[in-house]
Amino acid sequence: MKELPRILDGNTFVVCDERGDIEASSTDPTGLFSFDTRFLSTWVLTVNGDRLNMLSVDDLQYFETRFFLVPGTGTVYVDAKLSVIRQRAVGDGFHEELTILNHDENPVDLTIRIEAACDFADLFEVKDALEKKGKYYSRIEQGHLLLGYERETFRRETTIWSSQPCQVDDHGFTFTLHLEPDTQWTTELNVVTSMLGWARRTTPKYDSEHHHDAKPLMERSLERWLEDAPRLECDNDQLKRTYRRSLIDLAALRFAPPVAGGHSLPAAGLPWFMTMFGRDSILTSLQTVPFVPELSSTTLRALAAWQGSRVDDFRDEDPGRILHELRYGELSAFEERPHSPYYGNADATPLFVVLLDEYERWSGDTALVRDLEYEARMALDWIDKYADLMGNGYISYQRRKETGLENQCWKDSWDSISYHDGRLPGFPRATCELQGYAYDAKVRGARLARLVWKDNEYADRLEREAASLKRRFNKDFWVAEGQFYALSLDGDGTQVDSLSSNIGHLLWSGIVDKSRAKTIVKHLMGPRLWSGWGVRTLAEGEKRYNPIGYHVGTVWPFDNSFIAWGLRRYGFKQEAAQVAAGILDAAALFEGRLPEAFGGYERSVTKYPVQYPTACSPQAWSTGTPMLLLRTMLGLEPSGDHLLVDPALPPGIAWLGLLDIPGRWGAIDAFARARDDGRPRRRAAAAA
């Protein structure tokens, strides 16, 4: 599937066609979007009434694109004596520099027209094709065209103006030009979005009259980001390309929520998910702690600020619960959707504690751990007080209102959780990986309690609870016949007996009995789950298995990165390297940008990973995947003030060095080299 040109900055982004035009229908995600609202749905350029043809598109930066165009209606570029350049950068809206060049020996008279219109659709409306309830208006003031939408006191506006004189009407701008031979003409078009109330910027990035000033600032910010990240050196150029692509995409996905004092955290993905998600922001932060630890601290602070404080059925909120998703659009505003914010997930709360501990182990930032003590305790309390819906000592989930989410785990599609025979279980559901996260949260919480909060009694209690949970889990979830852990328990406490990738997350959390680890690894690397590229979400042979089913057979890169981490945790270095190699090989075929998911087809059959047909790319936790895989290949593990390195490289990488890894040790380098016999040679890390 060909990707449309996209540029973005935070939660403002533009998706257009290859000419730079926007002609959105009510259901497709093209347009200028900001704070989950479409602020421009039509933006079409014509010259003498004709549409233009694309010669080339240059993605200059993630926030800037240049389109080279020529007039003409057919597919053949006859007589291109005129060329048109549109250079567009996104900011608080966007800034477009439109240049017309006359290459002819004769002068020309031209009518340039920009059509502009807006439907002010909520992103949810674009997804689900809903009707608007408010009314539209437009005004022309001092050459500025203002497009607006109003429903009661809810108001969103787009203001557009040109630096060159033109005729402005309610539907756009008309320029009448006379161009002498070999001359050119340029105008700047500015599009500025505004919403009243919540997101009114208190510190504008730049004066809207001087839009172009923002660009060098964003360029510098990207340069600094790339300079500050650890440097990768290795003999595999594809891996270097993948790493660089990931760093740039991660920079693009940075989002500064109003509560983080200007700091950024990873938004979940473009275009549907440019907002704060508890699960996605935490998992991406976990993947990237060794590379960009500041994403973790911002994620923790922002999610703590929004931590649930009351029981609110509409939002599935409880005291201590970490939010699922925050949205700023019309449907949230009128409480037609519960995303203000919505709390319906069962994993982000324990994962919040897991991230806090992992972040401290790398950064040594005990000040943040002290600062978030209350929130971390609230999160740990939530596990037993609010998440145990069945009273059986396990986290389970069930939405309280129709508007909530049915599946509140990462596999959140309707058919993701099924028995071996394909039936769907009733609610509440206690998926297995949630219990692993709860176990890990208690173990890590105990470490923080001892180390930072100086509460040994609490630490002892958490450890006792963790040990008891592990014991019970290994009894209640173990499917004796198949020799693996059940995907879930259903509302009656019966095992949902499917073999799934979730067992890999259990290794990561450490809840798997040591004696059973080998059996679990055999399943993960066996023919039912292992496709050759990665571990499938659901095993072949399960009734609902489908190699292109969203959560029932596809391979998810992020899922595999955590499985690789789990394999390392239990000492299966070669298997972890094999997972890394499969996913990184796939990344190379996707030009360094891993999709959200790809088909679970056997590698030897398709030879090429088949991308799942989804519009979301880049996706944050796919972007973070190569970084976590680098960590697992190098075997990086903080230990006190030191960083342990214990590499295991897959075939295809002879040597690898990661330089200036930030952390409590300052900056350190890690190296790995394959030995002639295929086994890796260990090299000690040296402080830089």
Partner 1 sequence: MTGPTEKFFDELARRGNEPLLHRANGTMRFDLENGNSNGKGSGKNGVQQWFVTVKRGEITVARDGDRADSACRVSKALFDRLVTGEQNAMAATLRGLLTIEGDPELFVLFQRLLPARPPAATVPAQGGRS
Using left for φ > 0, alpha for ψ between -120 and 50, and beta otherwise, residue 528 falls in alpha
Instruction: Mark the segment that binds partner 1 (CB under 8 A) among 101-109, 348-356, 370-378, 579-587.
Output: 370-378
Which of 25, 392, 456, 494: binder of partner 1 (CB under 8 A)?
392
Q: Which helix (H) or strand (E) holds 167?
A: strand 167-169
Binding segment for partner 1 (CB under 8 A), chosen from 194-202, 442-450, 541-549, 601-609, is 194-202
8 Å CB contact between 256 and 10? yes
Out of 389, 479, 644, 659, name the contact with partner 1 by CB under 8 A: 389
Sheet of strand 6-9: strand arrangement: 6-9, 12-15, 31-34, 37-40
Rounded to an integer, what is the distance from CA 458 to the centroid of its chain? 35
> Based on CB atoms, which residue is closest to partner 1, 42 or 158?
158
Q: How far is the CB of 508 from partner 1 (least distance, A)?
A: 23
| 371 is an interface residue for partner 1 by CB under 8 A | yes
d(CA 186, CA 172) in angstroms, rounded, equals: 17
**Residue 314 interacts with partner 1 (CB under 8 A)?**
yes
- Three-state secondary structure string covering 31-55: EEEECCEEEECEEEEEECCECEEEE
Stretch that binds partner 1, among 161-169, 276-284, 314-322, 413-421 (CB under 8 A): 314-322
Residue 136 is a binding residue for partner 1 (CB under 8 A):
no
Choosing from 56, 106, 153, 604, the residue that interacts with partner 1 (CB under 8 A) is: 153
CA distance 552 to 571: 28
Report the residue from 23, 28, 188, 384 that binds partner 1 according to the rule CB under 8 A. 384
Q: Which of residues 261-280 bind partner 1 (CB under 8 A)?
A: 261
Q: Does the protein bind partner 1 through residue 134 (CB under 8 A)? A: no
Name the maximum alpha-carbon separation found in the chain. 88
Is residue 581 within 8 A of residue 651, CB to CB? The reply is yes
Three-state SS sequence of 234-300: ECCHHHHHHHHHHHHHHHHCEECCCCCCCCCEECCECCCECCCEHHHHHHHHHHHCCCCHHHHHHHH
Task: Give 153 or 515: the residue with its C-beta nearer to partner 1.
Answer: 153
Choose, by CB under 8 A, the member of 58, 59, 141, 335 that binds partner 1. 335
Q: Does residue number 310 form part of the binding site for partner 1 (CB under 8 A)?
A: yes
According to DSSP, the residues that pair with 140 across neighbouring strands are: 145
Number of residues that bind partner 1 (CB under 8 A): 51
The 405-444 contact track toward partner 1, x by CB under 8 A, reads ----------------------------------------
For residue 302, the minimal CB distance to partner 1 (Å) is 9
Closest to partner 1 by CB, 190 vs 340, is: 340
Residue 196 CB, shortest distance to partner 1, in Å, is: 4
Contact at 8 Å (CB) between 66 and 87? yes
What residues are paired with 654 via a beta bridge? none
Residue from the set 160, 251, 304, 643 that interacts with partner 1 by CB under 8 A: 304
Q: Which stretch binds partner 1 (CB under 8 A): 12-20, 86-94, 394-402, 508-516?
A: 394-402
Host H or E run for residue 123: helix 123-128
The residue among 368 and 507 lying less far from partner 1, judged by its C-beta, is 368
ω into 257 cis (within 30 of 0): no
Residue closer to partner 1, measured from CB, 311 or 688: 311
Nearer to partner 1, 258 or 510 (CB): 258
**Type of residue found at 475:** K
User: Which of 311, 686 has the CB closer to partner 1?
Assistant: 311
Tell whether residue 453 is a contact of partner 1 (CB under 8 A).
no
Q: State the minimum distance, in angstroms, from the CB of residue 282 to partner 1.
A: 18
Contacts 24+ apart (CB under 8 A), 101-106: 101/183, 101/184, 102/179, 102/180, 102/181, 102/182, 102/183, 102/184, 103/182, 104/181, 105/181, 106/181
Residues 6+ apart with CB under 8 A from 606: 599
Under the criterion CB under 8 A, does residue 332 sit at the interface with partner 1? Answer: yes
Among the listed residues 221, 398, 574, 614, the single contact to partner 1 using CB under 8 A = 398
Structure tokens at 253: 């996905």
Q: Which residues bind partner 1 (CB under 8 A)?
A: 152-155, 195-198, 200, 202, 258-261, 304-307, 309-314, 317-318, 328-330, 332-335, 340-341, 371-372, 374, 384-386, 388-394, 398, 400, 465
